[in-house]
Structure 1
Amino acid sequence: MPMIRINLMQTGLHLHDSPRPLAPVLRSASRVEGPVIVMTHGYRYQPGNPRICPHRHILSLDPEPQPHPAPSWPGGLGFAPAEDTPGLAIALGWDGSGTLWQARRRAILAGQALAGLLARLHHQRPDRPIHFIGHSMGVELALAALPLLPPGALTRIISISGAVYAGQAQQALRSPAGQVAEFINVTSRENDLFDWLFERAIAPPHRRDRAIGAGLDLPNAVTLQLDCAHTLTHLARLGLTVAAPQSRVCHRSGYLRPGALTLYRHLLRQSHWLTLDLLRHGLPPHPAPRWSRIFAPAGARPGLPFAPNAS
């Protein structure tokens, strides 16, 4: 399946590890049938840095074991070489290194550059859906891009443990492009510690605002709490089985857990069937409160890592 590796840098958009200009590659890719799936990483990754390059790790079809073992996102989303599924994968790198504040500023700038890329793709093929999936601070890119896009340029967004505020998401999803986009907010109480640290490091846009791990109340958004037994049962009834959590604290459980990437694959490739209304029906009315997992009396089985970083 076609895959384009792109980096959003201060000098603009560039193909990863290639001197070729991007524009003719995008023109050629416009002939590819099926959805466009844009995928990006979170904090700490840095394209071109051999130790922390996302294109060698989660955005690779054959990930290296460093900085930690992880599955291939393109492979999990249906772009493995042996797959016969349509679509265009765009593996998007941006500089998430440095301090949290430096990385966040770059994420916002990268999101503005992403808007130009998405607008170009939409202009080339307005009939083709364009989806986005990101982890942690990578979700900032989609929210920064939405207000700059024409309606219909972005179809469905999957946020995995997004390091963004609910107020930010609400504002972006009330923009013209945001109102016709769909937002799937994948959360887990395993991520509570990281939400809490994010809220103390990054000033909220509004007083008492909270990270989207606490939930998002909008008609075009749905929250999937993946450590909730009722949520997992509901997904299993739809044929979308995700393994139960095994840790009290883990920032990467949303894509490390067996079945998670398969869930996202179906959500992005079968959005006509897996509608937001279908997902909502059978979910608990509200996410579980913060710290309910960390301080639960029954110990969670250790299996997934206690992730010390926000990548």
Structure 2
Amino acid sequence: MVPMPLTHANADGNRLADPAGTVSRLRSALAETAPDAPLAIMVHGLSYSPGQPARCPHRKLYGPTCPEAWGRRLGTGTAGSPVALGFGWESRGSIWRAYGRAPEAGRALAELVEVAAALAPSRRITLIAHSLGARVALQALRHLAPGTAHRAILLAACEFRAPAAHALDCAAGAALDVLNVTARQNRAFDLLMEYGFAPGRRGCTTLARGMAGRARWCDLDLSCAEARATLSRLGHPVAAPQAWVCHGATYLTPGLFSLYRAALSDASLLPRLRAALPAPAPRRMAANLVRLATFALPAGNRTPS
């Protein structure tokens, strides 16, 4: 497999680091693809640091040499392959610290999206974000002009429903299609998130429980056999996640990146998915996991903002 054009950009606090270099690299990557090829901006989650080789997302999660890298799995180098743009932000430290830092990273991400849109106004721009990267992507919306980003693919999003709804309630959010991908293999992490930030607080639930009924929003539960059968009927077969617990199930499961790549350029895919997927079943957390989360994360008022 020949990798598609892969480039990178980083945040420096709430601004884009090295804007001139970013523009030069992106312009070169765009020149290697068809003029209408889509652009995927990839956003990582917790525990990465662009300035540290051992924790650099551009060497690990995005590629190009890592066998499971997103960039490698999104493209084949054929005509129409997308441009992959990896975005790095400082997410080391505790989840509390990284969660609080995400809004300023979102401001830097918005600057990157505006740069990409200015260089390639005819291309569809999609944000692909995992875990806390989903919070970064959502926080970027209030800084964007409507229609600048066309779609967001959120993978095991580490965000709560109320802040997500607030972030989407802006012009850019109203114009955005969202595919929210969840899996039972991530449920322990979702539970720890809910009990760690606001234990026992009613209504403080994560995006793992979906946002059914919201316009331009599509929930996809990979653990649902009927949902996977629907994907197969639409031409995107996806395997069932295998591990019992896996925070990366929403990007490691075979078949997913074929679906995600199709979502970059096919504007009709999410409306068809919304119409065909079964209604999500209510998600109840097991009592033993509740006890585990309560034990692992002492009670405290860490309500998300």
1:83 and 1:75 map into 2 onto residues whose CA distance is 13
Uncovered stretches (5+) of structure 1, i.e. residues with no partner: 64-69, 296-311
Deviations 1:89-138 (A, max 9, x none): 11111111111111112222111111111122223433321110011001
Q: Name the structure 1 match of 2:280.
A: 286
1:77 to 74, 90, 99: 74
Is 2:221 the counterpart of 1:225?
Answer: yes
Q: How does 1:162-177 map to 2 (within 5 A)?
A: 162-177=157-172
* Structure ranking higher in helix proportion: 2
Corresponding residue of 1:302? none
Distance in 2 between residues matched to 1:126 and 1:209, nearest whole Å: 38
- Equivalent residue for 1:135, pick from 127, 130, 133: 130
Partner of 1:156: 151
User: What is the rounded CA distance, in whole Å, between the counterparts of 1:84 and 1:123 in structure 2?
Assistant: 23
1:22 matched to 2:22? The reply is: yes
Residue 244 (structure 1) aligns with = 240
Measured in 2, the distance between the counterparts of 1:131 and 1:225 equals 20
SS in structure 2 of the partner of residue 183 of structure 1: strand
- Aligned partner of 2:60 in structure 1 is 57
1:1-311 aligned within 5 A: 1-10=4-13, 12-14=15-17, 21-27=21-27, 33=35, 34-63=37-66, 71-78=68-75, 80=76, 82-203=77-198, 208-217=203-212, 218-270=214-266, 272-274=267-269, 276-291=270-285
The alignment covers a number of residue pairs equal to: 281
2:53 aligned counterpart, secondary structure = coil
1:20 deviates by: 6.8
Aligned residue type for 1:90: L
CA deviation digits over 1:237-256, x for unaligned, max 9? 11111111223322111111
Where structure 2 has 5 or more consecutive residues not aligned to the other structure, the ranges are 290-305
State the identity as a percent.
37
- CA 1:246/1:87 → structure 2, altered by over 3 Å: closer, same or farther? closer
- Deviation, 1:186, is 0.2
The alpha carbon displacement at 1:6 in A equals: 1.0
Relative distance call for 1:43 and 1:74 in structure 2 (3 A) is same
Q: CA deviation at 1:282?
A: 2.9
CA contact (8 A) 1:214 1:287 kept: no
2:238 partner amino acid: V
Task: Report how far residue 207 of structure 1 moved.
Answer: 5.2
Bigger Cα displacement from structure 2, 28-37 vs 160-169: 28-37
Q: What's the counterpart of residue 296 of structure 2?
A: none
Q: Which amino acid aligns with 2:61?
A: I
TM-score, scaled relative to structure 1: 0.82
Provide the C-alpha distance between the structure 2 equivalents of 1:86 and 1:223, rounded to a whole number of angstroms. Answer: 26
The 8 Å contact of residues 108 and 144 in structure 1, kept in 2 or not, is answered as yes
Read off the aligned partner of 2:208 and give its amino acid letter: G
Is the 2:59–2:65 contact (alpha carbons within 8 Å) kept by the matching residues of 1?
A: yes
The amino acid of 1:228's aligned partner reads: C
Q: For the residues of structure 2 that align with 1:250 and 1:25, how far apart are their CA atoms? A: 34
Q: Is the 8 A contact 2:16 2:111 kept in 1?
A: no
Give the superposition deviation at 1:227. Answer: 0.8
CA gap 1:240/1:180 in 2 versus in 1, 3 angstroms: same
CA deviations 1:279-307 (Å, max 9, x no partner) are 02332212352337x99xxxxxxxxxxxx
CA shift, 1:11, in A, is 7.8
* C-alpha contact (below 8 Å) 1:215/1:287 kept by paired residues: no
1:305 paired residue number: none
| Equivalent position SS for 1:167 | helix
Question: How far, CA to CA, are the matches of 2:125 and 2:230 in structure 1?
Answer: 27
